[in-house]
Amino acid sequence: MKTTNLAPQKTKRSRGKIAVAAMLGLIALSAACAPAPAPAPTPPAVPVTVPVTVPASCANGRASCVLGDIGPGGGKVFYIDGVTRYEMAPNTWSGGASDPSGVLAWCDDAANSVTTGEAVGTGEANTASMLTDAPPFTACTTGAGNAAHDYAGGGLNDWFLPSFRELIAMCRYSRNPAIDPGDPMNGCTGAQDASFASSTYGFQTGSYSSSSQWSATQAFAVIFAGGHDGSIFKASVLPAIRPIRSF
């Protein structure tokens, strides 16, 4: 007599369910054991540009200039001729406490004539002529014109030795900086304004050299003590020097 096994038999379907469950368990276990994902990288900071407003001024060319303003070259505006402004360098321009004097002659060729003008507006051309050969005149290799030309105030290279009338205009401005100095053809008289004289732009009381030739051996000069004008020998080292520029 056969004995019948009454234990339940696993069908293919039940075995499949068990396999799927086991697989899902393995997947869940793998997911649980997997390392945590790395954090997302932090994006670089974006710099923020804050606009800086620069006030308009004569010095930066964003405003009109009036007498007494500081010009683009760091000098003081002392004369305005129509649309052309003139600025003078401070008296410390050469690195000393005041304008250099007793140091440089007008030119190392002090015996030959060179073509120059006396009027306002001729100083730059005068200085260029002083530095150019025009036989028998030999270009200055040292002197007042060279020193003024070599000055680079404000990073600019267009400074020059003032003409005779430009020097008169500087003298007139120093008398009363608060008002228009007027026509330099009228000469210069009186004494410097006390506040101006003690400032960084004040002048010495002695003579100052211009770039205007008086004769083959002499040049125009102005004595700032009383505003007197006259001439100095080109070979003389006595006059002081002050560069200017126009813009």
Residue 35 lies in a domain: no
Strands of 207-213's sheet in order across = 207-213, 218-223, 228-233
pLDDT of residue 40: 73
Residue 224 lies in a domain: yes
- What's the number of domains the chain is made of? 1
pLDDT of residue 23: 55
pLDDT of residue 244: 98
Domain that holds residue 116: 94-151+160-241
Per-residue exposure over 66-95, b if at least 16 CB sit within 10 Å of its own CB, e if not? ebebbbbbebbbbbbeeeebbbbbbbebbe
As a whole number of angstroms, the distance between CA 61 and CA 57 comes to: 6
Residue 22 lies in a domain: no
- Give the count of beta carbons closer than 10 Å to the beta carbon of residue 181: 21
pLDDT of residue 93: 98
Task: For the chain, list residues with pLDDT below 70.
Answer: 1-37, 50-52
Residue 33 lies in a domain: no
Does pTM surpass 0.85?
Answer: no
Residue 40 lies in a domain: no
List the structure tokens of 123: 């100083």
Residue 49 lies in a domain: no
Residue 229 lies in a domain: yes
Residue 203 lies in a domain: yes
List the structure tokens of 205: 């009381």
